[in-house]
Amino acid sequence: MGFTVEGVDQNKNTSTLINDFKQLTKLGLSMSVVFSSVAGYLLAVSPSSISYYTIFLLALGGYLMVAASNAFNQIIEKNTDSLMKRTKNRPIPAGRMTVKTALIIAITFTVAGICILYSINPKSALFGAISIFLYTSVYTPLKPVTPLCVFVGAFPGAIPFMLGWVAATNNFGMEAGFLFLIQFFWQFPHFWSIGWLQDVEYKKAGFNMLPMGKKDNGTVRQIILYTILMILVSISPVLKLTGSLYIYPATAVIIFILGLSMLFYAVKMLKDHSREMARKLMLSSVLYISVVQIVYVIDKFLH
């Protein structure tokens, strides 16, 4: 019996450690970044020149950089995390992990991530380093100061899709710039819908994430504006003005229709300020960025 209980406890402890690691590094978010980076890489190469070793390095290096950023973020926000219902059970505020342990993980992942990206090419490492610096040293400290933190945070958030192109070409040109802009403009409706949903919780921690400071039509108009910009940039490669980045008209129609679904919920929020409508906008934004990247890659391999 003693052996059984010990075994159960050991399994429980192992499970807790794994879950704490997932929470500290935000595994789901990190995987979505890896997905974006790999999609960007596939857009830049021909089917015959795909390097699966480079994809592996890009995925691993990208994951380590995002995981490190999230760990640094939770170290910095350990006190405010303890004030919010959705974050108070994270490993640091809950007392299951020390700041020292989290710091070791964050620093180790940062160094390893930069080195791995550098082994692909120097520009990839540079953008990886810029991403982690902006997220940790600018975006996170600005959150309790100004709603403009979302604008700052959109820069590191928009790097992954573009990073894949840079990893494949060692060049930041027009094509990489457009991939950056797609994810940059997408950040605003996505994060403001989350800010709308979490407004009460954020204010408990002293964060004001909405552009107009409150849940009103001024904020909704900002969401609509950036959604329209996102759609226009996403379909612009059909005009053949974005270098070697080109999509077929049928692909542009698919992306446009997908964007209209986001715009539909954004416009409905002018009259419906409910959490349910904000949740629909948030979920449609997640669907949008995922499908756009998949459709872009499929389109590329049909050329």
294 vs 155: CA distance, rounded Å: 22
Question: What pLDDT, on a 0 to 100 scale, did the predictor assign at position 57?
Answer: 97
Cα distances from 283 to residues 98, 261, 290, in angstroms, run: 34, 11, 11
280 vs 302: CA distance, rounded Å: 32
pLDDT per residue as tens digits for the range 175-191: 999 999 999 999 999 99
Q: By the 8 A CB rule, do 65 and 25 touch?
A: no
In 3D space, the residue among 55, 36, 60, 35 whose CA is nearest the CA of residue 45 turns out to be: 55
Which of the following CATH numbers is that of domain 20-172: 1.10.287.10, 1.20.1250.20, 2.102.10.10, 1.10.357.140?
Answer: 1.10.357.140
pLDDT per residue as tens digits for the range 144-164: 999 899 999 999 999 999 999
Q: Specify the residue for token string 């059984």.
A: 4
Q: Where in the chain are the domains?
A: 20-172, 173-303
pLDDT per residue as tens digits for the range 76-111: 999 999 988 888 999 999 999 999 999 999 999 999
pLDDT per residue as tens digits for the range 120-144: 999 999 999 999 999 999 999 999 9
Q: Is pTM, for the whole model, over 0.75? A: yes
Question: What pLDDT, on a 0 to 100 scale, did the predictor assign at position 11?
Answer: 60
136 vs 70: CA distance, rounded Å: 8
